[in-house]
Amino acid sequence: MCGIVGCHHVPDAKAFKPEALKMVRKVRHRGPDWSGTYLANRTSMSSSAEESLLLAHERLSIVGVESGAQPITNKDESIALAVNGEIYNHRVIRKGLKTSYHFKTHSDCEVIIPLYMQYGIDAPKHLDGMFSFILYDKTQDRVIAARDPIGVVSFYQGWSSKLPGAVFFASELKCLHDVCDKIISFPPGHVYDSKTDKTTRYYDPTWWDPANVPTTPVDYKLLRETFEKSVRKRLMAEVPYGVLLSGGLDSSLVAAIAQRETLRLKAAALKQVENGESNAQVDEDHGEGLVGIDDDNKLSTLTYLPQLNSFSIGLPNAPDTKAALEVAKFLGTKHHNMTFEIEDGLNALSDVIYHLESFDVTTIRASTPMFLLARKIKAMGVKMVLSGEGSDEIFGGYLYFHAAPSKEAFHEECVRRVKHLHLWDCLRANKSTSAWGLEARVPFLDKEFLEVAMNIDPADKLITKDRIEKYILRKAFDTSDEPGAQPYLPDHILYRQKEQFSDGVGYGWIDALKDNAELHVTDEMMKNPKPEWGSDIPDTKEAYWYRTMFDEHFPPQCADTVVRWLPTWSNQTDPSGRAIAIHNQKYDEKK
Predicted confidence (pLDDT) per residue in 350-402, tens digit = 999 999 999 999 999 999 999 999 999 999 999 999 999 999 999 999 999 99
Q: What is the pLDDT of residue 62?
A: 73
Same domain, 196 and 225: no
Spatial CA neighbour of 410 closest among 393, 386, 422: 393
296 pLDDT higher than 90? no
pTM of the entire predicted model: 0.92
In a domain, 530, yes or no: no
In a domain, 531, yes or no: no
Q: Is 484 annotated as a binding residue?
A: no
> Which of 473, 497, 523 is at the close of a domain?
523
Same domain, 150 and 181: yes
How distant is the alpha carbon of residue 357 from its chain centre?
Answer: 15
What is the average pLDDT value for the chain, to the nearest integer? 89
Residues 384, 2: Cα–Cα separation, whole Å: 12
Residue type, 529: P
Same domain, 133 and 163: yes
- Mean pLDDT across 553-578: 85
Same domain, 232 and 190: no
Same domain, 281 and 168: no
The DSSP element (H or E) to which 507 belongs, if any, is: helix 507-520
Cβ(554)–Cβ(174) below 8 Å = yes
Task: Name the pLDDT band for 55 (thresholds 50, 70, 90).
Answer: very high
Residue 388: strand, helix, or coil: coil
- Mean pLDDT across 84-88: 95
Spatial CA neighbour of 89 closest among 117, 115, 108, 107: 108
> Which of 170, 201, 232 is at the close of a domain?
201
Q: Which domain holds residue 28?
A: 3-201
Q: Is 154 annotated as a binding residue?
A: no
- Provide the annotated active-site residues: 2
428 pLDDT higher than 70? yes
Residues 418, 391: Cα–Cα separation, whole Å: 9
Same domain, 230 and 159: no
Contacts of 349 (CB under 8 A, 6+ apart): 364, 368, 546, 549
Cβ(453)–Cβ(392) below 8 Å = no
Q: Is 244 annotated as a binding residue?
A: yes
Q: Is 388 annotated as a binding residue?
A: yes
Contacts of 331 (CB under 8 A, 6+ apart): 255, 256, 259, 308, 310
Same domain, 169 and 256: no
Residues 554, 545: Cα–Cα separation, whole Å: 15
Residues 493, 173: Cα–Cα separation, whole Å: 39
Residues 275, 283: Cα–Cα separation, whole Å: 16
In a domain, 549, yes or no: no
In a domain, 44, yes or no: yes
> Which of 495, 523, 551 is at the close of a domain?
523
Q: What is the pLDDT of residue 291?
A: 42
Same domain, 160 and 231: no
Same domain, 166 and 241: no
Contacts of 481 (CB under 8 A, 6+ apart): none
Q: Give me the CATH number covering residue 429.
A: 3.40.50.620
DSSP assignments along 220-269, one per residue: HHHHHHHHHHHHHHTT--SS-EEEE--SSHHHHHHHHHHHHHHHHHHHHH
Spatial CA neighbour of 395 closest among 428, 362, 444, 464: 444
Cβ(122)–Cβ(113) below 8 Å = no
In a domain, 557, yes or no: no
Same domain, 183 and 246: no
Q: What is the pLDDT of residue 490?
A: 96
Please tell me the total count of domains within the chain. 2
Q: What is the pLDDT of residue 183?
A: 98
Q: Give me the CATH number covering residue 109.
A: 3.60.20.10
In a domain, 280, yes or no: yes
Residues 308, 578: Cα–Cα separation, whole Å: 32
Same domain, 7 and 70: yes
Same domain, 228 and 182: no
Residue type, 428: R
In a domain, 578, yes or no: no
Q: What is the pLDDT of residue 164?
A: 94
Write out pLDDT tens, residues 399-416.
Answer: 999 999 999 999 999 999
Task: Name the pLDDT band for 587 (thresholds 50, 70, 90).
Answer: very low
Q: Is 313 annotated as a binding residue?
A: yes
- Mean pLDDT across 38-48: 67
Which residues partner with 336 through β-bridges?
A: 311
Q: What is the pLDDT of residue 289?
A: 45
Which residues partner with 351 through β-bridges?
A: none
In a domain, 532, yes or no: no
